[in-house]
Structure 1
């Protein structure tokens, strides 16, 4: 007679584990083929010199690609990473602040599904369409300068001026990602119990006090998720910049890390330098994400 918990009981459990892995096999193969293998290949390229044609031409160079990113006179740290950080930070601030305001307003309106759908439309619109529409709006004869002229201000070449090009694209990126943030924050608002608002109303609390003392603290988990995902998307974005500025111009005013990687690989044929920049960007994203999580958790709520 087998002892309790002995081989007789372990056989069904082992069989269940084998069946579970059998069902997981397609997903694991997909993961290995399209994520793990490219990741390992990119790590190999980051330590090599390769023009992107014959695999036999891969030449190991050690850490030379990484040291070259931060060598004296290199542009990766400044202005590329500086522009990337400013681009991502501006996107987070504008999109999150705008989404909080809009989500709060939608939560007090009728036909909420209609309003959420309208704000979500830019998310499902192609980047090329969004970028070109805003590009024409930014032209000297476009809508934005038309509004400035109506206010008695002169026209501004927003995308041609190094001082205004990056903020102009940041506004478009934030506007295009507003819909996703609104959906997440409206779901977070729905999860807040009405009893808190009823108690605040009985106490005579003002709307702004209710928003600051009740809504924002209880909305913090959703805000953490939105801010982190928006920041990561901002650090990785480059398609909108290509559509609106062409090559990160004027000069290098809108040159960001993802765009620099794209140019190094597909324009200059430096796949090793592009891969090294990709891993440097990965480390930056990981560090910033961990710092964001630590800061939000330190403020009193575990997410």
Structure 2
């Protein structure tokens, strides 16, 4: 009896599977055309020389592109990749600390929706607009130097000095990305049961103790998500630096991996080097993401 009924059941399951794949077809086609095929093409280009015009001109060179990236005299490791890591770390540090502070303050204020909306506005503003506004504010005769001069301080060449150009752009990137972090952390704070805070208050715990022992441990999933997304955004940043510094200037002081890839491909016509740099950046992102997951899980297990 079981074997007799197995045939119709299997046929029904096959029909259900076919219908499921039919509905998945648009998403699978999108994935194949815009993700899988470009990825395979990038793998090919990373091991080739190509100027970006005729596909017949693709010349296989093996691992030579990766060797050139890290050869003596190459600027990819220093300063390009170094700038990329510093940019990402600085952005995450400022955005995370600022967002955590502001989210905690907003959680204790009235009109919380208004405050969250105000801090989220830079996210919905185009990067070009944000970059140009801050570029004029950083100018020698801009608003920031005007304030410094009014306080009796000397003007600062924020974007013209190699020593201050990268930190200046980091501040803008952190400010522009803080809105999303505030929303996520605020939602995380709202999910913490009030019973924990009431119990801590009855035990006489101070505000600092409550924050360290209750808020931070229970906010760990939100902090992990913010850290990972902010790091990925920082490591992939391109548009803001391009707008504010005119192709990574002064010199290579603000040149980062994504900008270097763009210049190698579209300015110098070396798509092989650009693709190899993209894979190096991909490996860096994977390593940092895995490291963060391991660190947060270890801290979660210890607490």
TM bin, normalised by shorter chain, reads over 0.9
For the 8 Å contact 2:217–2:300, the answer to whether it is kept is no
Give, in whole Å, the separation in 1 of the partners of 2:214 and 2:136. 42
Aligned residue number for residue 53 of structure 2 = 53
For the 8 Å contact 1:185–1:223, the answer to whether it is kept is yes
For the 8 Å contact 1:47–1:272, the answer to whether it is kept is yes
Q: Unaligned stretches of 5+ in structure 2? A: none
* Pairing 1:127–2:127 present: yes
The CA RMSD measured in Å over matched residues stands at 1.3
TM-score (norm 1): 0.97
Displacement of 1:5:
7.5
Give, in whole Å, the separation in 2 of the partners of 1:74 and 1:61. 18
Q: Unaligned stretches of 5+ in structure 1? A: none
Aligned residue number for residue 205 of structure 2 = 205
**Which residues in structure 2 correspond to 1:175-254 (within 5 Å)?**
175-254=175-254
Give, in whole Å, the separation in 1 of the partners of 2:84 and 2:132. 21
Give, in whole Å, the separation in 2 of the partners of 1:150 and 1:190. 42
Give, in whole Å, the separation in 2 of the partners of 1:42 and 1:139. 39
> How has the CA–CA distance of structure 1 residues 191 and 18 changed in structure 2, closer, same or farther, with 3 Å as cutoff?
same
Cα deviation 1:76-134 (Å, max 9, x = unaligned): 10000000000000000000100000111111111111111110000010011000100
Aligned residue number for residue 106 of structure 2 = 106
Displacement of 1:4:
8.1
TM-score (norm 2): 0.97
**Which residues in structure 2 correspond to 1:159-170 (within 5 Å)?**
159-170=159-170
Aligned residue number for residue 142 of structure 1 = 142
> How has the CA–CA distance of structure 1 residues 5 and 187 changed in structure 2, closer, same or farther, with 3 Å as cutoff?
farther
For the 8 Å contact 1:2–1:8, the answer to whether it is kept is no
Displacement of 1:70:
0.5
Aligned residue number for residue 156 of structure 1 = 156
